[in-house]
Amino acid sequence: MTSAPSSRASRRRILTIGPVDLGPDVRIETTVMDSIFQALGAIAICPAGRPIEAVLLAPTEGGIEDLAHSADAIRRLDATVLVVLVSDDAVSPALAARFDGHVRAPVDDRSLTRLLDGTSDVPAPASTTPPPAPAPTPTTAPPAEVAPAPQHDSRETADPPTAPLPTLPRSLEPLGDTDLVEAMLHGPYGVRPLLLQMVTQKTGWSDVRIEPEDATGRGAAIRFGGQEFGFLLAAPASCEAVRPWAHWMARWLALDDAQRELREMAFQDELTSAWNRRYLKEFLAESLVEARRIRRQLTVMVFDIDDFKTYNDRYGHSAGDTILRETVRLLGSTIRDGDRVCRIGGDEFAVIFADMQAPRTPGSTHPESVEAIARRFQEQICAMRFPELGLDAPGTLSISGGLASFPWDGQDGEALLHIADQRALESKRRGKNCLTIGPGARTRWPEHE
């Protein structure tokens, strides 16, 4: 994977949040985001060759203080992204320091370009009034059971945790936003387990949990932007005590959902809902690391549908699309949860048999169990019925494929895919409708078994 350009001058892509007033002469590519959550998702999945260079923030009803929290979140996710406040209002020096720049509206092309180049001479709006006095301290302390509301100010800790997210459960050591972002981007379970753990750490409550319904009357709804995530409950906390934590959780869970949706859009094939080639490479590399760690086997199968172009030409592309979707659906019903089906070409697919839990069938061993699954899938393809193919639909489809297994056939993903692809070509040369499992002789022919 190529790395992001090191020079900010080579980045010319920005996001805006809020009513940012851009002048008519601005030529830089600009995308309007509905919320900070959408912007964080876009930053997280942007391609390395076209990274987002800056985010322009304009105040809404939440005020500039809320924008400062947004700036902190963006900086934690990607410290190379400039966060610029667009406002005619004066701000205190402490608040201004939380942004990389402060410009007036409308933002013209010259000022924006100089700002992105790091040569800006645009002054921040001058302060004409003294900074507002701090809000008075409440005279009545909250009840003893009420925990302080979550704080998002990055100045709480000088050195936020940067260690990789450990496997849950983990000891009650301090967790922070960095851990949540890490779990969101790379964790298999998302942010939910860490959110519960962080509430437990910061409040001392026991039995912190999220339930679909609140039968006790002591829970608080976890709701944000029209999305509902259940109810937060904790012992012995009251509804009033858990409510601010429920609001905090809701924002992280909404962001987590948006991130997962964007990730799926980036890694899934739109037609068949199979994973795509980009996902294949990443998943295969990660699975091989795990296979080495726990000393397990892994198998890759590459196959395509024999004479697929003929079906497209004879019955139309709509029929061809149906064949591709049904092929993925059928294969998805055959494999296990840890396996993946990827579409890597028009009618070419790769299957990663990477479920490393218990044997697939009692007493079975890898790769024999995988070979049996591939063989069964091949037979089912031949028996599939497609109304789009007319009266001769039964038995008209077949596949040719090849299998390669770690560690016998290759030590890395590229080698396994190459060997599996070569064996798939060998299946074509042998007359199609067969699977080449291993060197030469280990070939499975449906009509001969």
CA trace torsion 358, 361, 364, 370 (10° rounding):
-90
| Distance, CA of 63 to CA of 49 (rounded, Å) | 34
| Distance, CA of 151 to CA of 73 (rounded, Å) | 12
Bridge partners, residue 343, by sequence: 349
Domain 277-448 has CATH 3.30.70.270: yes
First-to-last C-alpha distance (Å) of the chain:
44
Which pLDDT band, with edges at 50, 70 and 90, does 51 fall under?
Answer: confident
pLDDT digits (tens, 9 = 90+) for 311-326: 888 888 888 898 899 8
| Distance, CA of 369 to CA of 378 (rounded, Å) | 14
Residue 219 in this model has a pLDDT that exceeds 90: yes
Mean pLDDT, the chain, whole residue set: 77
- Model-level pTM? 0.48
Task: Indicate the domain borders of the chain.
Answer: 9-117, 169-267, 277-448
| Distance, CA of 167 to CA of 183 (rounded, Å) | 10
| Distance, CA of 156 to CA of 163 (rounded, Å) | 18
H/E segment holding residue 328 = helix 317-332
Which candidate, 262, 260, 300, places its Cα nearest to that of 281?
Answer: 300
Residue 422 in this model has a pLDDT that exceeds 70: yes
CA trace torsion 279, 282, 285, 289 (10° rounding):
-110
Regarding the domain delimited by 9-117, which CATH topology (the fold level of the hierarchy) does it fall under?
A: Rossmann fold (3.40.50)
Residue 427 sits at φ, ψ, to 5 deg, of -65, -40
pLDDT digits (tens, 9 = 90+) for 53-105: 889 998 887 678 778 888 888 877 777 788 888 888 887 877 788 888 888 88
| Distance, CA of 427 to CA of 444 (rounded, Å) | 9
3-state secondary structure of 35: coil
- Chain-centroid distance of CA 333 in Å reads 24
